[in-house]
């Protein structure tokens, strides 16, 4: 089962090649951005015994549970499930390997360009400030800042109701968050102590990850997530490459059209 870093419906996720080799491919879609990773004080207090924050992983676990119950009807073996993902999907593989609720739902794993010890294998604490050097601002504080951006005051149930009334466009809003390190994109995991009980890095160090075969590596055509620009013209975009601008233009825009 692949968990792509985006959508499982694009042509690159087609299962034709897998089927030719006798492999049943199940692609999934899961919530992303604030829909996939979000916290707010009133949301944490609502149904306190439920998982909070990392809704993307809840979707992925639900898909794995579906596979366990139904894949046999398609000729699959529920006892031989391999999960794999690219980029954000590769990060999800690390998370699923270390989330207790996912234990036993898969038997092999492949992480493609799934990041490393740069914050990807850590996570943002749901409510504790300065608990992680890479993410000193808690997920709830990020949620409060998002609410204030939309002129929603307070942290109670009334504020939560107003958040839920926002349009999809207002919720998505590019997925950028502001914390002490500046503006950046954040997509989880969020340590809530129930679903995500520790960082993947911590689980690996302590040997608490799922004991399944793991293949890990980088894709040769990967591009770093740091290269994100709001440039509104080709000239501005090309200028970002500095001394390599002419080379980039020759490679990608030789005719100037």
> Does position 110 have pLDDT exceeding 90, yes or no?
yes
Integer CA distances (angstroms), 190 to 57, 126, 196, 200, 256, in order: 10, 6, 7, 11, 44
User: What is the pLDDT, as a whole number, of residue 130?
Assistant: 78
- Nearest-10 crossing angle of helices 88-98, 55-70: 70
Amino acid 181: pLDDT: 52
Query: How high is the pLDDT of residue 56?
Result: 94
| Residue scoring higher pLDDT (171 or 226) | 171
pTM: 0.81
The pLDDT, as a whole number, for residue 16 is 85
Position 124 confidence tier, pLDDT thresholds 50, 70, 90 = confident
Distance CA 24, CA 17 (A): 10
Per the model's pLDDT, the better-predicted residue between 227 and 247 turns out to be 247
Q: Which helix (H) or strand (E) covers residue 85, if one does?
A: strand 82-86
pLDDT above 80 (res 202): yes
Q: pLDDT band for 184, please (50, 70, 90 cuts).
A: low
- For the segment 143-162, the average pLDDT, to the nearest whole number, is 94
Q: Which residue has the higher pLDDT, 73 or 217?
A: 73
Domain boundaries, given as residue ranges, for the chain: 11-226, 229-257
Average pLDDT of the segment spanning 169-193 = 69
* Residue range 11-226 in CATH 3.40.50.1820: yes
pLDDT at residue 106 greater than cutoff 70: yes
Indicate if the pLDDT at residue 174 is higher than 60: no
Mean pLDDT in residue range 125-154 = 88
Among 6-15, 46-55, 108-117, 237-246, the least confident range: 6-15
Quick one: which of 15, 22, 103 has its CA closest to 65? Answer: 103
Q: What is the mean pLDDT of residues 186-202?
A: 87
Residue 99: the pLDDT is 96
- Interatomic CA distance for residues 33 and 172, integer angstroms: 7
């Amino acid at each position: 089962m692949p968990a792509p870093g985006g959508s499982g419906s694009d042509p690159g996720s087609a299962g034709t090649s897998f089927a030719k080799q006798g492999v049943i491919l199940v692609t999934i879609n899961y919530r992303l951005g604030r829909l996939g990773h979000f916290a707010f004080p009133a949301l944490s207090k609502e149904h306190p015994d439920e998982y909070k924050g990392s809704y993307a992983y809840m979707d992925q676990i639900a898909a794995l549970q579906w596979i366990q119950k139904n894949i046999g009807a398609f000729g699959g073996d529920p006892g031989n499930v391999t999960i794999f993902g690219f980029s954000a999907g590769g990060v999800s593989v690390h998370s699923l390997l270390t989330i207790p609720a996912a234990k036993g739902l898969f038997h092999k794993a492949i992480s493609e360009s799934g990041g490393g010890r740069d914050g990807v294998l850590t996570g943002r604490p749901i409510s504790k400030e300065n608990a992680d050097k890479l993410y000193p601002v808690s997920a709830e504080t990020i949620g409060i800042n998002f609410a204030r951006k939309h002129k929603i005051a307070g942290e109670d149930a009334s504020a939560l109701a107003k958040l839920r009334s926002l349009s999809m466009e207002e919720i998505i809003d590019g997925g950028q968050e502001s914390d002490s390190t500046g503006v950046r994109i954040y997509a989880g995991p969020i340590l809530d102590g129930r679903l995500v009980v520790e960082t993947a890095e911590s689980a690996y160090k302590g040997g608490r990850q799922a004991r399944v075969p793991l293949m890990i590596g980088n894709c040769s055509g990967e591009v770093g997530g740091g290269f994100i620009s709001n440039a509104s013209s080709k000239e501005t975009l090309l200028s970002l490459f500095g001394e390599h601008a002419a080379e980039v233009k020759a490679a990608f825009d030789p005719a100037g059209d």
